[in-house]
Structure 1
Amino acid sequence: MNLRNHSSLHKLFYSLYNHERYFLDVYPLIKSLVTYSADNLADFNINFVTRLLEHLNVNTKLVRSSNLHITSKKEERVLDILMKLHATTYLSGKESYFNYLNLSNFQNRDIDIKLINYTFNSLYDKDSILKLLFSYSPDEIIEILNCNGKEENP
């Protein structure tokens, strides 16, 4: 997976984001992310997420579920991953929480579920991560994301 035409890529990003405060600082990172050559989408995504986390100074360990050798499916797979990683809390979005999760399965394994509702105010409502990266410092982006994800009681 590789975006080969760097010239058109540059023109696109330049036309969309050149007026943003951090364009010149962030463009080399974005270019390296989208032109990263990977054999499959998983490798591309892992590189993308890892590099973004580094840029944002977020220090968290990423684990490929394939390395955990878990063969279960759907919710049982999520539970098996949580157990393998000794997790005590699962963060869930509204859609999963209300439509897909069997809460008793989590309770039976002593895993708390925290409902996180992301409600972006109108300033950030339609922004992509690219817009945020070109427009704000890493600290500002973290603040934006932290302020818009609220834990709720269902």
Structure 2
Amino acid sequence: MKVSIMQPYFFPYIGYFQLIANSDVFVIYDDVNFIKKGWINRNSILVNNTSYLFSMPLQNVSQNKLINEIFISDLDKWKMDLLKTISSSYKKAPFYQDVYPLIEKIISFDELNLAIYIQNSIQNLCAYLNINTKLIMSSEIVKNNGLKGENKIIDICLQLGANQYVNAIGGFELYTKENFRVKNIDLKFIKSEDIVYQQFKNEFKPWLSIIDVIMFNSVEDTRMLLNKFELI
């Protein structure tokens, strides 16, 4: 069984969904410390042919808190502003009529807990893309929470009965294949190929949020893009 583990990201880039689609079980790593200025509560979309960083406002943010201990601002103005920005930026995109109601549903979700809010968004996006991977919150897994880093990842894999662990290529320097091998787990890294598609008639801006991908690509074409990677 193939397992992958990632922190919950808000409308992440396509590589995140490549990781999910290539796994039997995807663990949303919600019981690790929040990282400021990361991708947990922000991402980028195309606005006036430039990469525009959007974010959700959070309450009492601290890197000493776990992700599932962080709460979203209870003011709805940010949701309305973000929806307005997405609508105005993509209203002429080929799949706007299909995608915007999904984005509106996700952003309008009535939940203040950051981890649960993002979990809901990932579930809805996976359903739209016909990704049937099982999603589990890390906090729901009985494991040794005293472990850190690689050892905690290995413990989660063992608790789930994994024989292969797939990680994003960004973690290549963080994990050692031999340490997984002694536990009978095959460690692989997913490396995305160059992913290019038509964004209106402008110069292509790569690695934007999944919002950009599905605004310009059908579900079928997006699923083809999900297969553009190498396992190393």
Residues 48, 10 of structure 1: alpha-carbon distance in 2 compared, 3 angstrom cutoff: closer
Taking the TM superposition and a 5 Å limit, the aligned residue runs for 1:3-152 are: 4-5=76-77, 7-70=80-143, 71=145, 72-97=147-172, 99-123=173-197, 125-147=206-228, 149-152=229-232
Q: What's the TM-score once normalised by structure 2's chain length?
A: 0.59
Over 3 Å counting, the alpha-carbon distance change for 1:69 and 1:91 in structure 2 is same
Corresponding letter in the other structure for 2:171 = S
Cα pair distance change 1:57/1:3, threshold 3 Å: farther
Q: Tell me: higher relative CO, structure 1 or 2? Use CA pairs within 8 A at least 6 residues apart.
A: 2
Judged with a 3 Å threshold, the aligned counterparts in structure 2 of structure 1 residues 42 and 34 are, in CA distance, closer, same or farther, namely same
Taking the aligned partners of 1:79 and 1:118, their CA distance within structure 2 comes to 24
Shift of 1:119: 2.9
SS of the residue aligned with 2:227?
A: helix
Residue type at the aligned position of 1:93: A
Structure 2 counterpart SS, 1:63: strand
More strand by share: 2
Q: Tell me, in whole angstroms, the C-alpha distance in 2 between the residues paired with 1:122 and 1:54.
A: 23
- 2:9 aligns to what? none
TM-score (norm. length: structure 1): 0.87
Report if the CA contact (8 A) 1:3-1:34 is conserved.
no
- 1:132, 1:102 → 2: CA distance? 33
Structure number with higher helix proportion: 1
Gaps of 5+ in 1: none
SS state at 2:152 partner: helix
1:26 CA drift (Å)? 1.1
Sequence identity of aligned pairs in percent? 28
Name the CA distance, whole Å, in 2 between partners of 1:94 and 1:122. Answer: 19
- Structure 2, unmatched stretches of 5+, are 1-71, 198-203
Contact 1:21–1:134 (CA<8 Å) still a contact in 2?
A: yes
Secondary structure, counterpart of 2:102 in structure 1: helix
Shift of 1:126: 3.4
Give distance in 1, aligned partners of 2:211 and 2:179: 37
Q: C-alpha deviations, 1:59-79, integer Å up to 9, x for none?
A: 111111111122122111110
